[in-house]
Amino acid sequence: MDEQEFNEYLSSISMFIGNMTQKANSIELMLKVIFEKIGVRNLRLLGPKINKFERCKSTLSDNYTGDFDILVDKLKIFNNNWNITKHGMVVGGSQNFTIHKDDAFHIFDQSKVDEINNEFTQIMEGLIEISNGL
C-alpha cells in the first residue's frame, strides 16, 4: 500500500467510524425518547441504556410487532461494533477496515459494513415503532 492508498484508506475508515458514531447517537436519541415516554430515567452510556431497554420489555414489547428479544440482540451487537470502532486503533495495510481492540483484530469488510447498515435500519424501525406506540 503506497502513501496515497494509505491516505485514502484512512479517509475511508474515518468516515466509517464517524458513521458508526452518528448511528449510535441516533439510537441513543430514540432510547431517550422512549424512556421519557415511559417515565424512566435516561442513562449516559449506550450499553446501560440497552440493558435498561431490555429490562423494560414488559412495558415496551406490546408496542412492537417484531421479536423484542431479537431487537435487543441487534442493539447489543451494534453497541459491541460501535465500541470497537470508538475505542480501537486503526490498522493499515488491508483493503478491509481493520481495528485493533482488546488484543484482537476486528475486520470490517464490505459485507460486514453492509450488515451493520442493514441492522441499524432494522433497529431504528423497531425503536420508532415502539416510540410511536407509546
41 SS3 class? coil
In this prediction, residue 92 carries a pLDDT of 83
d(CA 66, CA 69): 9
What is the number of domains present in the chain? Answer: 1
Could you count the other beta carbons within 10 Å of the beta carbon of residue 12? 11
In this prediction, residue 50 carries a pLDDT of 98
Its pTM stands at 0.94
Q: What is the pLDDT of residues 46-60, one digit of tens each?
A: 999 999 999 999 999
Grid cell 448511528 — which residue? 23
Q: What is the pLDDT of residues 72-82, one digit of tens each?
A: 999 999 999 99
Task: Give φ, ψ of 25 to 5 degrees.
Answer: -65, -40
Low-confidence ranges of the chain (pLDDT < 50): none
Residue 53: give the domain boundaries: 3-133
77 SS3 class? helix
In this prediction, residue 95 carries a pLDDT of 80
In this prediction, residue 80 carries a pLDDT of 98
